[in-house]
């Protein structure tokens, strides 16, 4: 499914995309904006932890599953299952390494990095994300979850310039794959085709500016899926 296009094959209007961005829940939109700002120049455990708490709470991912009970209490992170420590132990080093490479490569084009970076480089980044994704899944698997949504949201919380948070039903109904690198590739191709056909830049659909291309794409996917922003890890 091409997210940025009508069933007829015509590209969605920039007005529709702006509407999707404006329609996100306030706490979710604020969490996305905070994540983008916080990860602009670097990443460490502190930044990752704060981003993850904000995003998991805003996504309603703390009601059950591996992030159950995760929250901020008087400015301090409350993590009853120590899930953030376990995530960082599993992929902290690869996160820091990839973030360093992204910061060096992005320059002023960070919001559009997904499109303006050469395709072979994006493909290698997508493979790196897929490797991290697979290392996260065992941490999030349980009786009622296989951890796909949780893993994608963790990656977005540190790589909002290239990663995509994928909600529970979107894996089956929209992307029809569990290969995260394929999703990154599909998103890039979809955005490239939309910009070519519409003769506009996707990030021009936000008058306030500052959002990354995956954040725009995420807003349109949420709208296409009926406004769902996760009801639990999957």
Residue 188 lies in a domain: yes
Residue 124 lies in a domain: yes
Residue 146 lies in a domain: yes
- Locate 58 and state its tokens: 């805003």
b/e burial code for range 207-219 (CB count within 10 A of at least 16 → b): eeeebbbbbbbbb
Residue 212 lies in a domain: yes
Residue 36 lies in a domain: no
**How far is 99 from 102, CA to CA, in rounded Å?**
5
Residue 60 lies in a domain: no
**What is the tally of structural domains in the chain?**
1
Look at residue 229 in the predicted model and tell me its pLDDT.
Answer: 63
Helix (H), strand (E), coil (C) string for the chain: CCCCECCCCCECCHHHHHHHHHHCCHHHHHHHHHHHHHCCCCCCHHHHHHHHHHHHHHCCCCCCHHHCCCEEECCEEECCCCHHHHHHHHHHHHHHHHHHHHHHHHHHHHHHHHHHCCHHHHHHHHHHHHHHHHHHHHHHCECCECCHHHHHHHHHHHCCCCCCCCCCCHHHHHHCCCCHHHHHHHHHHHHHHHHHHHCCCHHHHCCCCCCCHHHHHHHHHHHHCCCCCCCCCC
pLDDT in tens, the chain (234 residues): 689 999 999 999 999 999 999 999 999 999 999 999 999 999 999 999 999 999 999 999 999 889 999 999 988 999 999 999 999 999 999 999 999 999 888 666 889 999 999 999 999 999 999 999 999 999 998 645 569 999 999 999 999 999 999 998 899 889 999 999 999 999 999 999 999 999 999 998 886 778 999 999 999 999 887 766 654 444
Residue 48 lies in a domain: no
Residue 114 lies in a domain: yes
Tell me the residue range of the domain where 121 lies. 14-25+85-224
């Amino acid at each position: 499914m091409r997210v940025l296009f009508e069933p007829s094959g015509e590209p969605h209007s920039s007005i529709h995309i702006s509407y999707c961005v404006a329609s996100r829940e306030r706490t979710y939109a604020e969490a996305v904006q905070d994540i983008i700002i916080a990860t602009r120049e670097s990443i460490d455990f502190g930044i990752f932890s704060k981003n993850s708490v904000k995003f998991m709470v805003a996504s309603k991912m703390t009601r059950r599953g591996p992030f159950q009970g995760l929250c901020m209490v008087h400015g301090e992170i409350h993590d009853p299952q120590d899930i953030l420590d376990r995530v960082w132990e599993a992929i902290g080093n690869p996160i820091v390494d990839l973030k360093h490479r992204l910061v060096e490569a992005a320059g002023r084009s960070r919001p559009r990095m997904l499109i303006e970076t050469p395709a072979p480089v994006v493909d290698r980044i997508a493979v790196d994300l897929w490797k991290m994704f697979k290392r996260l899944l065992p941490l999030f698997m349980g009786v009622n979850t296989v951890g796909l949504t949780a893993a994608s949201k963790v990656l977005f919380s540190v790589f909002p310039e290239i990663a995509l948070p994928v909600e529970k039903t979107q894996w089956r109904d929209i992307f029809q794959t569990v290969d995260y690198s394929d999703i990154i590739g599909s998103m890039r191709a979809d955005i490239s085709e939309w910009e070519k056909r519409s003769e506009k830049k996707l990030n021009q659909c936000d008058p306030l500016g500052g959002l990354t291309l995956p954040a725009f794409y995420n807003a349109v996917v949420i709208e296409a899926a009926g406004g769902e922003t996760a009801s639990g890890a999957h």
